[in-house]
Amino acid sequence: MKQAPRKYANYIPIRELHSKERQLFPFQVYAELRENTPVRYDEHRECWDVFRYEDVQYVLKNPKLFSSERNRTSSSMLTTDPPKHKQLRDLVNQAFTPKAIEALAPRIQQITDELLAPHLSNGKINLIDDLATPLPVIVIAELIGVPATDRREFKHWSDVLVKGARDDSEEAFQELVQEKQRNMQELYTYFAAILEQRRAEPQEDLISLLLAAEIEGQQLTTEEVINFCILLLAAGNETTTNLIANAVRILSEQPELQLELREHPDRVASAVEETLRYYPPIVAIGRVARETVELNGQTIQAGDQVISWVGAANRDAAQFEHADKFVTDRKPNRHMGFGFGIHFCLGAPLARLEARVVLHTLLQRIEHIQLVSETELEPIQSAFVFGVKEYPVQFNA
């Protein structure tokens, strides 16, 4: 298999999305690409882009043709193929069940209330820094079993895991690679020590459960448990932050939705799903072709990178009626915001729960949520992530 091109790792956005305005609102560009070049090769980034729902779904549901083993530096379930993938996923599934996640609801509510409380009397909150960022980090730290005193370091490690290069230069790329390597070493050392403690003295946390998990005599190795904990930080924190922030962004851009959801709180869960379709935190998912394959009239060669644009597929009128409209109670809603197929997001129940709790709480406690006027939105610099860096809102308490 060909080595992954450096450019892919460096998160260069597709050329049509280089401007800030387009990154803040890429959906018109997606519509043009879906229409004009549904499957195309990008010489600059050295990869294929796939934009239509049907084609994206085809890529994601065929791991035999499109491999996830694109990044061999750390092996976790996200970057493994069957049969190894199933073995890893089944083992962690024992600890990460929807029932176990649902039991976290009261604690998530408590953390949300605590984070929101100091801001209620000000009528203002920096939604991302004060609520949407700390909430998932605290929840995942508690779930894994990280001592509260280590939270700050934990947050830093988590940030570096998903950090992109500051620009396109080789220098910035090398700097980032080194920072990430250091970060990985620190994480390994940190988790190795916790694992040792939990082996000696199991507790009621995810690490202890993972160490005990067993299927047909198979257990996870120390390295696999550590890789999984690191994966949870990398896959779960920034994504959930952006889901919450993107949902609130929609509510302030379309304020009539605030009234509708306050009147119909039973639609909050489906509004969270619709956010994952309409403003998905992850807009693109990478694979590598295992063999030469035809897709929508194009020939993809074995070893080629293939980027599936779920952000574009989620607005495909061939799949969704009124695709550009936010419909709070859309049914069915087969969005691919959590991916599709065997790698479908393991953390989906947790992300959904956190977003639901936050939206319910905001709608109950405050009114007229709007972006603080004259705020200039800054898109997150990543080709795969859709979100903004800051989202200060004002409201009536």
45 binds ligand HEM (CB under 6 A): no
Q: Nearer Cβ to ligand HEM, position 82 or 123?
A: 82
Which lies closer to ligand HEM via its Cβ, residue 285 or residue 357? Answer: 285
386 binds ligand HEM (CB under 6 A): no
Contacts of 59-62 with C-beta under 8 Å, sequence gap 24+, read: 59/287, 59/295, 59/306, 59/308, 60/285, 60/287, 60/308, 60/336, 60/339, 60/340, 60/341, 60/343, 61/340, 61/341, 62/341
3-state helix, strand, coil in the chain (%, to 5): 55, 10, 35
Q: Does 239 bind ligand HEM (CB under 6 A)?
A: yes
- Interaction of residue 67 with ligand HEM, rule CB under 6 A: no
Taking residue 108's Cβ as centre, other Cβ atoms within 10 Å add up to 22
- Annotate each residue in 81-100 with x if it binds ligand HEM (CB under 6 A) or - if it does not, as one string: --------x-----------
In this structure, the chain runs to a length of: 397
- Which region among 105-113, 235-243, 358-366, 374-382 touches ligand HEM (by CB under 6 A)? 235-243
Query: Which residue type is seen at 158?
Result: S
Contacts with ligand HEM: how many residues (CB under 6 A)?
A: 24
Residue 236 binds to ligand HEM (criterion: CB under 6 A) = yes
Phi, psi (degrees; rounded to nearest 5) at 348: -55, -45
Please answer whether residues 334 and 319 qualify as being in contact, where contact means their C-beta atoms are separated by less than 8 angstroms.
yes
Q: Which CB sits closer to ligand HEM, 173 or 384?
A: 384
Which residue type does 262 have? Answer: R
Residue 145 interacting with ligand HEM (CB under 6 A): no
Shortest gap between Cβ of 127 and ligand HEM (angstroms)? 15
**Beta strands 124-126; 214-215: pairing state:** unpaired
Cβ at position 263, least distance to ligand HEM in Å: 25
Number of residue whose CB is nearest ligand HEM: 347
For ligand HEM, the closer of residues 8 and 338 by Cβ is: 338
> Does 351 sit near ligand HEM (CB under 6 A)?
yes
Site membership for ligand HEM, residue 140 (CB under 6 A) = yes
Contact mark string toward ligand HEM, 159..198, x via CB under 6 A: ----------------------------------------
Can you tell me which of 243, 283, 312, 357 binds ligand HEM, judged by CB under 6 A?
243
| Order of strands across the sheet that contains 367-371 | 124-126, 392-396, 367-371
Q: Determine if 68 is a binding residue for ligand HEM (CB under 6 A).
A: yes
Residues 192-221 that bind ligand HEM (CB under 6 A): none
Closest separation in Å from C-beta 234 to ligand HEM: 8
User: By CB under 6 A, what part of segment 280-339 binds ligand HEM?
Assistant: 281-282, 285, 337-339
Contact 50, 295 (CB under 8 A): yes
Tell me if 352 sits within 8 A of 269, measured CB to CB: yes
Q: Which two tokens stand for residue 354?
A: 């956190």
If the CB atoms of residues 116 and 235 are measured against ligand HEM, the closer one turns out to be: 235
User: Which two tokens mark 62?
Assistant: 């065929």
CA atoms of 370 and 387, how far apart (whole Å):
17
Nearer residue to ligand HEM within complex by CB, 13 or 280: 280
Rounded CA separation 27/324 (Å):
9
Residue 370 burial (10 A CB sphere; 0-12, 13-18, 19+): middle
Pair of tokens at residue 369: 């949520």
- 220 with 94: CB under 8 angstroms? no
Would you count residue 232 as binding ligand HEM (CB under 6 A)? yes
The minimum distance between CB 394 and ligand HEM, in angstroms, equals 25
Which residues of the shown chain bind ligand HEM in the complex (CB under 6 A)? 68, 77-78, 89, 140, 231-232, 235-236, 239-240, 243, 281-282, 285, 337-339, 343, 345-347, 350-351
